[in-house]
Chain A
């Protein structure tokens, strides 16, 4: 099957630290891929490079066969890659609905209007509909500054869905969520995301989550791909157990 994302030979160094070392990876349509690895293994760097926030030192990135290397996050977003953030990146003085409204305005095909009210009915309805999918409709008119970390995380993800991306990158969707809630949260995310994004890559630390929700696991170690394959297979890999999961899971 033709890959949505095709990455060839990505290198990235920060001084002496190797964050990406000849990364080569294809992600086919419809796959749920989990990126695992210790802190500093290069998972977030990978996400940052794919979305144009960081420029790789070497290598190519293609979306649907189109070379997107060197493009800005804005252009990458327009072409169909959206992401959520490890630390939610929201407009915290604005309400939840307004946050989504900005995203909806941004996804429109025409320039931002100077006179059409931001909270016009159709935009507002769409914002509330998205929030409802995450079970947050009742918080629509609350400013982000009044909302808890877990809720912010979900709103962050909901904003990434507005463009109905070809590829959705989620950076640690369950970090900061308590152990009891993590499955419920991830269930919610997977279901809420499904109508708008079929191909999802998520960075994850929790191996139970990985095992349950990923079709495929890519393990990172010092900027390299240590193992790539089905969860059952990768999580049993000797090197993965040694360098990534620490053999404790």
Chain B
């Protein structure tokens, strides 16, 4: 019994940060219709920036809580800047072209950012463990967990709720939803789609980078991080349905549980499991679990 509980708690911990990454990916797809291969790179950048800030704070003998808050602020600033710059400076040039072309453009961005992170932070593993001890260790159902890990779950749920609320209960959110569902219509209603695009893309980058920052204390940052993360978040959004917030949540929990289960039951089989789920979903419900297929008008 305890064994399954362990898997479930571990799975939820995994799901919490995966959900934040996938949320960014699915929002960007929903609004801009871009499947962003570079999304994992933004996660990596968030993690690296967080590590730099945390190390800097520690070097000044400030407490880890300062490091934690500082890294979130720094990452938010940098992510917003990178997101706006990329959308306005680059992606804008390719709007209106085939979605596969945009896929290739983001692949190019992925390649570039891959080396940029190497040039800035080197190729050796970097750590930023100080904030990890921030919340101590907590006992839960007879097992000890790192408090930081457990705290991620409510943080992620809060972010999810905030986005759901923002989309469904605020004017800005309704405009974004209008663009998602019917862009032509919203243009004719006077929505400035360009702004929505820029905002949505920057916000997507922000979510990826935030997830990177939040996980930075748990992991070692090294090359290959971004390609692993994008692979996981692709699986999540495809399972849940591209562009669906609920789908991202369900997908993240499924993938989180699959990861945790394979770690405990069949070590090293996690990617295999996750992609098997993804391929299965694609084969039987190509639009994902949360979307309906639409017929083509002729």
Contacts and interface: CB of A to CB of B under 8 A. Distances in A.
Interface of A: 44, 48, 53, 85-87, 89
B143 interface: no
B141 interface: no
Contacts of B298: 44, 48, 53, 85-87, 89
7 contacts: A44-B298, A48-B298, A53-B298, A85-B298, A86-B298, A87-B298, A89-B298
Nearest to A171: B298
Interface in B240-298: 298
Nearest to A48: B298
Contacts of A86: 298
Nearest to B298: A85
Nearest to B295: A54
Contacts of A89: 298
Contacts of A44: 298
Q: Which 7 pairs from chain A and chain B are nearest by CB?
A: A85-B298, A89-B298, A87-B298, A53-B298, A48-B298, A86-B298, A44-B298
Nearest to B297: A87
Interface in B41-67: none
B292 to A, nearest CB: 12
Contacts of A85: 298
Contacts of A53: 298
Nearest to A51: B298
A44 B297 CA distance: 10
A85 B296 CA distance: 13
A53 B298 CA distance: 10
A172 to B, nearest CB: 12
Contacts of A48: 298
A89 B298 CA distance: 8
Contacts of A87: 298
Interface in B115-139: none
A44 B296 CA distance: 13
A12 to B, nearest CB: 12
A87 B296 CA distance: 12
A85 B298 CA distance: 7
Nearest to B296: A53
A53 B296 CA distance: 10
A235 B19 CA distance: 62
A53 B297 CA distance: 11
Nearest to A54: B295
A85 B297 CA distance: 11
A215 B298 CA distance: 27
Nearest to A83: B298
Interface string B189-209: 000000000000000000000
A92 to B, nearest CB: 14
A87 B298 CA distance: 7
B231 to A, nearest CB: 34
A208 to B, nearest CB: 26
A158 to B, nearest CB: 18
A44 B298 CA distance: 9
A48 B295 CA distance: 12
Nearest to A89: B298
A20 B298 CA distance: 17
Nearest to A47: B298
A86 B296 CA distance: 13
Interface in B137-158: none
A85 to B, nearest CB: 6
A89 B296 CA distance: 12
A153 to B, nearest CB: 14
A212 B289 CA distance: 53
A168 to B, nearest CB: 17
A202 to B, nearest CB: 16
